[in-house]
Structures are given as structure tokens and as C-alpha cells.
Structure 1
Amino acid sequence: MRRETLERHQVWLYLGAVSMGLALGSLTPGLGSTADALLWPVLALLLYATFTQVPMAALPTAFTEGRFMAAALLGNFVLLPAAVWALMQFIPENQALQLGLLLVLLVPCTDWFITFSQLGRGDATRATALTPVLLVLQLLLLPLYLWLMSDADLRVVFAPADIWPAFVVVLLPLALAVLTEVWAGRSRTGAAVVLRLGWWPVPLLAAVVLLVAVAHVGSVLADAQLLPIVLGVVALFLAISLLLSRAVASAARLNLAQGRTLAFSMGTRNSFVVLPLALALPAGWETVAVVVVMQSLLELFGMIFCLWFIPRVLFPDPRASTGEKPSRAR
């Protein structure tokens, strides 16, 4: 199997993992504590494998593409946060639901958006260069966004005694991934390891989703009535992000491949990074993690649609209608 095939069909793997996890958790409740214990190391491994695919060495290179970078930063860190704030005004007064949506919708994706950009005839090179910038800025800006938009008492919800494991699970794999990248830059063996790690995120995310379902089956079933609300918000967010990406790309005079990449960047969110924070919250806030998982699965269905919509409708190649061979991203 090719890696591209695995990534193209990943949504079905995750749905199977959720179904299996809910069945196991319901039929064997005693597995919940074991799944909860396994969840953190598997999540840390997932983040490590994911972060190794984020080229931190490309950080300076990213700023050489001034118009594309400005468009991506404006869209992801100014326009979309404003749109998220507007969407929150119509959400029921459920603080856990609101916090879950804020956590996941405010952070742009740094992993599978590269794959979707490539599959959707975007510019994978610029997508790759953009990812470390997105990762660094979201880690810095997320606390500010939450302080401005959340009605929850963040000092209680994010008490240091509860969430310090989440920071370890995020920051330790990030540090190890940077060291691995340095090793890969100096050694063929290291480069081969990074290449192999590129296969890991999809099966590891499936394992994480399965473990979350087993460990939190009660919360998942109890919060099932929230699915239509989350679905509506995710669909509206995706529609808004696509419209904004078209407007920003036109204003910045981006070419077709850059515009498509911008659309995939603005339409995808970074559930991997915020999931540890959601899982570390104190008792009573389990809904936050459920919402994050719901969003990530719904987003994948949205990306299946976007693989058709973005290159054919939102950023169509005019030569395709004249019978010429469509342009491909570099």
C-alpha cells in the first residue's frame, strides 16, 4: 500500500476505530482504566511522529514567500478567530461545548493539511514551509484567544495541577522531533527514520481515537445529542473558511496552487495538539475531549468534499475547460 492511499482513505479507518472502541467500552467497562492509561503514551507517540513531519528548519524559508505568508497568517490568526467568535454567539450556553469548539477551531492544522493540499493540487512545498510558523504561533496565541472568547473560569479549568501532563505530552515530543530533524539533516539513517515515521500518524491516530472511545464511552454516548450542533458549527466554519480563503487569495494575488493551499490551511484544524489539553481537564469537563474528537472526524468528511470543490470550483484551472492539461503544483 502507498502512503498516499492510506492517507486518502484514513477517515474510514478512524470511523472503524470509533465504532470498535465504543463497542469494547460498552461490552467491557473494565477496559476503561486500561485504555486511559495507554492513551497518554500513544498520544505522545502520535505527536512525536506528527511533529517529525513538521520541518522546523524551513521556518526562515517560509518568510521568503511574503504575500502567501501574509495571507495565511491573516486568514488563520485574524479573520478565522473573528469568525469563530461570531459563531460562538449562537452556541447553547454549555461551557464545555463552547470550550471544546474554541480549542479546536482556533488552531490551524500542521499535519494532514499538507496531504490534502497535495491531493487537491495545491502547493505542497509552500504548505510544508508554512507548518512550523502555524505551529509556533498557535501555541503562543491560543491562551490569548481563550482568555478573550471563553466564558469559563480558565484559572479553574486549566489548573496547573491538572494540565501539566498535557504540556509534557505536547512539548516533549516537539523537542524530540526537533532533535530528530537535526539528526535527519546530518545522517542518512536519521532521514530514513523520519521518512518511515511519516507512515505512523494515521494508524496512531486511529489507536488514539479507539482508546478515547473505550475510556470515555459514557461521555461519548451521553454527549451524542451534541453531534448535530457540532456538525452545524463545523460545516459553517468550513464554508466561512473557504469563502474567506477565496477573498484573501484574490486580494493577495496568489496563484492557483497557493490559493488552494491557503484554502486547505484555513479549512483544517489542529485537533492533535489540543486533544491532550482537552483530556487533561478536571472531572465534569469530559465533553471538551468528545467535541474535539467529533470535530476531527467531521472535518475529514469535509476534506473529502474539499478535494473535489477546491480545485474544481473554488480555484479552478481555466485551462481545464479549454481541454488543456491542468497545471500541477510544484
Structure 2
Amino acid sequence: MTQQAQQVPGPAAGTLAGMVAGMERHQVAVYVGAIAAGAVAGWAAPGLGPVLEHAINPVLAALLYVTFLQVPAADLVRSLRAGRFLAAALVVNFAVVPLVVAAMFAFLPADLAVRLGVLLVLLTPCVDYVIVFSGLAGGDARRLLAATPLLLLAQMLALPVLLVAFMGEQLTAVVEPGPFLEAFVVLIVIPLALAWLTQAWAARRPAGRAVAHGAGAAMVPLMAATLITVVTSQVPKLDGNLAAVAGVVPFYVLFLAVMAVAGLAVGRLFRLDVPAGRAIVFTGATRNSLVVLPLALALPDALAIAAAVVVAQTLVEVMGMVVYVRLVPRLLPPR
């Protein structure tokens, strides 16, 4: 067989490539469908819930590995030089968002587990599908992607401090630092190190380039698998707790509405260009429900509903992103 013949993909490879390309073109529909499929599966087969909970960390780690793989290590250094964009991202996520949450906090349901779930999810900026939705709206997805590891590190350092500030002794009595450290190592340190090793391999060997390319193509299927796993595992927990979880939905909707305006204001304050400004709106509005879910699952049994409260935010947010993709370009039209 000639070298040229070896490079021509067979029918199976062409079909697979076409499926991946189709999923990438219709990412929003894929994610909404994954959530719907997970909800149906969790309702029809509640016994799957405890089984799939054990799969959450592995699929999340794989998803973040693929996400980090899209960021060349050199881009991380360059992202540190994007001073205004990074400053705007930090301000919107770690100054504006806590103020918005503080304004809502007094009105949240009094249940400790519900409040803790809301704080866990709203105080942490998204690092995965925010890049997709920002790109669909014409935001600077590349710059946002390069800032992702820094946002992850910042939120893991800030979250314990913010939780104590909001909940004080109530928190220290029921939460231990171990799960936070474990999540940081499993979901951040290991995937990031593996991504950098893969990049180094890809720079030197064709096999490494093939692995990196294949992993990049798996981004959308992995996100869909993560959403199905998470939703299926948590839907059974709604039994008897539906009213408590539904009570936080209006707060999640309000958060999305407020952060659209707040993100726009921060982008203007830092005099960012239109793509960067749109990215700031998205990073301020989208939250890190998937990554903080293991923290919620590690809470004592008395606080088990916190995980369902976190997942409820995912459901609201994905629907909200469908609106954002159309709304944000109108709020920040091309100049």
C-alpha cells in the first residue's frame, strides 16, 4: 500500500469524522438533548444514580484534560500579559459575583444544605462549556480558554474563604477541607499536567499529534457524556426534595439576568474590544456546577440535597445560554 493510500480515510473514519463535525455544529442541541436524556434515565431507572455518581470524577477529569489540551503552555504565559482582560475576568468573577450573591443570600431558603449548594455553584466561574457558548456568540473564546487554568486556581483558593465569609461557624461545623484538596488535585493538577505532557509529546512525535487531535475531537461527546452522567445520577435525589430544589430556580434565573448587565459594565469599565467584552459577559454569568459537584457530593448525608441544588443550576444555565448566545451580540454589537 502506498503512503498516499494510507492517508485516505476509509468509510468508517469518514463517517466518524462527519458525526463529530455534526455534533460540533449543533453543540447547544447536543447539550440540551444530553440533559433531557439524563433526566429521563434518572427518572426511569433511579437505581442508576448511585452507580453513576462514581463515574462523575473520571468523566470530569477527562473533560478538563481535553479542555486544557486546547491551551498550549505558551498561551498561559501570554495570557498573563493580557492584563486588562485578565483583570476584568477576575473582577467580574471574584468581586462583582460575590456582591450579587450577597444581595440574594438573605432571601434564599433557610435550609443550610440548600444555601450551601447555591453558594458552591454561584461563587465559582465556569471553565468548560463557557468557551463554547462564548465562541458561538462571537466572544474571544481563545483568550478565555487561555485564562481557564488561572480561573480554576483562583476559584479553588477563593471558594473556602468566601464560604466562610457567608456562612461562618455553620460551615466549619459540617465541612472539612479534604474534599476541596482532593478535587483540586484530581480535577485540576492531574488533567493539566497530563495535557502539558501530551502537548510535549505531540510536538515531537506523530503519534502524540494523533492522540492530541483525537482528544480534541472528543470535546463535545465528552461534555454530553458528562451532562448525562451528572443529571442521571442526581435526578433520583429529587424524590421528596423537589420543592426545596425548585425554590432556588428563580435565584438562578435572576443571577443570569443581573450578570448580563454586570458583565457588560465590567467590559466597558476595562475598555475591552467587542469579542473580549462578550467573553467577559459569559465568564461572569456561567458557573462551575460540574467541577464543584464532587465537593457537594462529599458533604455529610444530612446535606445531600446540596448536590441536587448544584445540578439544578446546570439545567437553568444551559437554557439561559441559549438566550445569551442570541442576546449578547445585540448588547455588544460589532463596532
Scaled to the shorter chain, the TM-score interval is 0.7 to 0.9
The aligned counterpart of 1:220 is 238
Residues 42, 49 of structure 2: 8 Å contact kept: no
The aligned counterpart of 1:308 is 326
The aligned counterpart of 1:14 is 34
Q: How does 1:76-95 map to 2 (within 5 A)?
A: 76-95=93-112
Residues 122, 259 of structure 1: 8 Å contact kept: yes
Secondary structure of 1:102's aligned partner: helix
The aligned counterpart of 1:323 is none
TM-score (norm: length of structure 1): 0.84
Query: How far did 1:278 drift?
Result: 1.3
Secondary structure of 1:172's aligned partner: helix
Sort the Cα spacing of 1:66 and 1:113 in 2 relative to 1 into closer, same or farther, 3 A: same
* Aligned positions, number: 314
TM-score (norm: length of structure 2): 0.83
Sort the Cα spacing of 1:297 and 1:262 in 2 relative to 1 into closer, same or farther, 3 A: same
Secondary structure of 1:9's aligned partner: helix
Residues 123, 260 of structure 1: 8 Å contact kept: yes
User: Percent identity among equivalent residues?
Assistant: 41
User: 2:281 matched to 1:254?
Assistant: no
Secondary structure of 1:284's aligned partner: helix
The aligned counterpart of 1:294 is 312
Residues 134, 282 of structure 2: 8 Å contact kept: yes
Sort the Cα spacing of 1:130 and 1:217 in 2 relative to 1 into closer, same or farther, 3 A: closer
Sort the Cα spacing of 1:138 and 1:191 in 2 relative to 1 into closer, same or farther, 3 A: farther
Q: How does 1:222-241 map to 2 (within 5 A)?
A: 222-241=240-259
Secondary structure of 1:198's aligned partner: helix
Distance in 2 of aligned mates of 1:232 and 1:221: 20
The aligned counterpart of 2:12 is none
Sort the Cα spacing of 1:243 and 1:295 in 2 relative to 1 into closer, same or farther, 3 A: same
User: 2:121 matched to 1:104?
Assistant: yes
Query: In the TM superposition, what whole-angstrom CA distance separates every residue of 1:8-41 from its partner, at most 9, and x where no partner exists?
Result: 3233222233223223434xx3x44433444443
* Contiguous gaps of at least 5 residues in structure 1: 319-330
Query: How far did 1:160 drift?
Result: 5.4
Residues 43, 236 of structure 2: 8 Å contact kept: no
RMSD: 2.6
Secondary structure of 1:157's aligned partner: coil
The aligned counterpart of 2:150 is 133
Query: How far did 1:307 drift?
Result: 0.7
Sort the Cα spacing of 1:13 and 1:92 in 2 relative to 1 into closer, same or farther, 3 A: same
Residues 31, 224 of structure 2: 8 Å contact kept: no
Sort the Cα spacing of 1:289 and 1:53 in 2 relative to 1 into closer, same or farther, 3 A: farther
Residues 179, 295 of structure 2: 8 Å contact kept: no
Residues 263, 284 of structure 2: 8 Å contact kept: yes
Secondary structure of 1:222's aligned partner: coil
